[in-house]
Amino acid sequence: MPERRVVITGMGVISPIGLNKEEFWSSLLAGCSGIKEIDRFPTDNFPTKIAAQVKDFQIVDYVSRRDARRMDLFVQFACAAARIAVEDAALTINDENRTRTGVWIASGIGGIGTLESQHHAFMKKGVNGISPFFIPMMIPNMAAGQVSIMLGAMGPNGCTVTACASASHSIGEAFQAIRDNKADVMITGGAEASITPLGIGGFCAMKALSTANDDPSRACKPFDRKRDGFVMGEGAGVLVLEEMEHALERGATIHAELIGYGSSADACHMVQPDPDGKGAALAFRNALAQAGLEPQDIDYINAHGTGTTLNDQIETAVVKEVFASHSNNLPISSTKWAHGHMLGAAGAVELIATVMALIHDTIPPTMNLNDPDPLCDLDYVPNQPRQQALKVAISDSLGFGGHNAALIVRKLG
């Protein structure tokens, strides 16, 4: 039996720099940052006062007001991005295909905003103050659950929770479901809404966040010597994956083909990447092996590129290890300077940026890279987008717990 090929036919983005893929992409190329002062809660006692918040989002544009009241913000983001992606794919889900259409949407943290508000209600009123919707609003799998309810998709349904690699792993698992003939269509990605007092406070306590509060748009500086931590983002990215013949038969527009997925563990530390990068390198190699490619076949890497000291240095070392001499000619960029670190949504939004790069033969820039770290000495496409013919690209994600994922996409034609 011939191998089932998987293509991307729809993409939906809800982000701090745009509420669809076109706005998102235009903002990246224009160097527009969504990082600003937090206006959702007082930050007087917080060392970090900045984040990349989603603006001008109206959930009632995507679901009913009644349904929205029963969703945490991360689920609202997921439902909106999924509806946009399905519309982009011109996909109709009906009785004929619903059992072969699945949903696999991640969240790294889940409904932390709901958790905080319900804890407050509990402390004020006791057990009688807790909403009956507290648990189903909070649990991370509810993005996938609510999207399947909204769309009527009855195929494989789940949520892979691997911190900052959650979306990439979920996309990889959805890809495998189609390859293994468990589904013909998978709606997949990630969503996160952790810009809350406890969310920001927790990462402040780890000293993981940038404190460059005086200049928010320049706070996230991947690969720069002066980087001082990541900036929290929020939103969702959802893609429609489809078996190629299924897509061709219905006349779908194919944005790219997903051809490789690699997953691995550092088996090293709770939050710090393996200093030797062995786990991340293994994820890259596993993805290349599944795609049947050599390192020199890759034209562009969309890096995890958080703007933290260890991540950027180790990711650079991993690229050198895996791609050897080709690493000197391989353009790499991180887009977190614009949308922040979207945690469990990051891998999906960054894969969409990678696919857009293939479509437009344009590499998005790494902004705020003015004083490169000597240990980060590769081609990071600093401060300006670059026109370049692209055929194959890879996006990687590295999560707390040592979870690593890499996804390879190819332009058709």
Q: Is residue 255 part of a domain?
A: no
* Mean pLDDT, contiguous 10-residue spans, the chain (413 residues): 91 98 98 98 98 97 96 98 98 97 98 98 97 97 98 98 97 98 98 98 97 98 98 98 98 98 94 88 98 98 96 97 97 98 98 98 98 97 98 96 96 88
Q: Bridge partners of 387?
A: 362
What type of residue sits at position 260?
G
Q: Which one from 169, 246, 255, 304 is the annotated catalytic residue?
A: 304
Q: Which pLDDT score, from 0 to 100, does residue 396 have?
A: 98
Q: Which pLDDT score, from 0 to 100, does residue 275 have?
A: 86
CA dist 188 and 73 (Å) reads 18
Question: Do 150 and 236 share a structural domain?
Answer: yes
Catalytic, 164? Answer yes
Domain limit, last residue, from 229, 249, 269 = 249
pTM over 0.85: yes
Question: Do 194 and 281 share a structural domain?
Answer: no
Q: Is residue 3 part of a domain?
A: no
Catalytic, 341? Answer yes
What CATH number is associated with residue 116? 3.40.47.10
Given a contact cutoff of 8 angstroms between Cβ atoms, the answer to whether 57 and 80 are in contact is yes
Of 283, 17, 253, 27, the C-alpha closest to 162 is: 283
Question: Do 365 and 285 share a structural domain?
Answer: yes
Question: Do 217 and 69 share a structural domain?
Answer: yes
Question: Do 385 and 303 share a structural domain?
Answer: yes
Question: Do 309 and 176 share a structural domain?
Answer: no
Question: Do 196 and 102 share a structural domain?
Answer: yes
Catalytic, 376? Answer no
Question: Do 396 and 316 share a structural domain?
Answer: yes
Task: Give the pairing type, strands 157-158 and 185-192.
Answer: unpaired
Q: Which one from 169, 341, 376, 403 is the annotated catalytic residue?
A: 341
Domain limit, last residue, from 214, 249, 284 = 249
Given a contact cutoff of 8 angstroms between Cβ atoms, the answer to whether 80 and 147 are in contact is no
Q: Is residue 256 part of a domain?
A: no
Question: Do 381 and 271 share a structural domain?
Answer: yes
Q: Which pLDDT score, from 0 to 100, does residue 202 have?
A: 97
Count of residues making up the chain: 413
Q: Is residue 74 part of a domain?
A: yes
Q: Where are the alpha helices (DSSP H) in 106-190?
A: 112-125, 134-138, 142-151, 166-179
Q: Which pLDDT score, from 0 to 100, does residue 1 have?
A: 62
Q: Which domain holds residue 88?
A: 8-249
| Cα atoms in the Cβ-side hemisphere of radius 13 Å centred on 64 | 6
Question: Do 332 and 297 share a structural domain?
Answer: yes
Q: Which pLDDT score, from 0 to 100, does residue 271 have?
A: 83
Domain limit, last residue, from 249, 280, 299 = 249
Given a contact cutoff of 8 angstroms between Cβ atoms, the answer to whether 333 and 307 are in contact is no
Q: Is residue 69 part of a domain?
A: yes
Q: Is residue 12 part of a domain?
A: yes
Q: Which pLDDT score, from 0 to 100, does residue 293 have?
A: 98
Task: Provide the token pair at 383.
Answer: 């401060």
Question: Do 313 and 225 share a structural domain?
Answer: no
Q: Is residue 14 part of a domain?
A: yes
Question: Do 205 and 321 share a structural domain?
Answer: no
Residue pointed to by tokens 């790494």: 366
Q: Is residue 302 part of a domain?
A: yes
Q: Which one from 79, 159, 164, 220 is the annotated catalytic residue?
A: 164
Task: Give the pairing type, strands 392-399 and 386-387.
Answer: unpaired
Distance spanning both ends of the chain, measured CA to CA: 24
The number of distinct structural domains making up the chain is 2
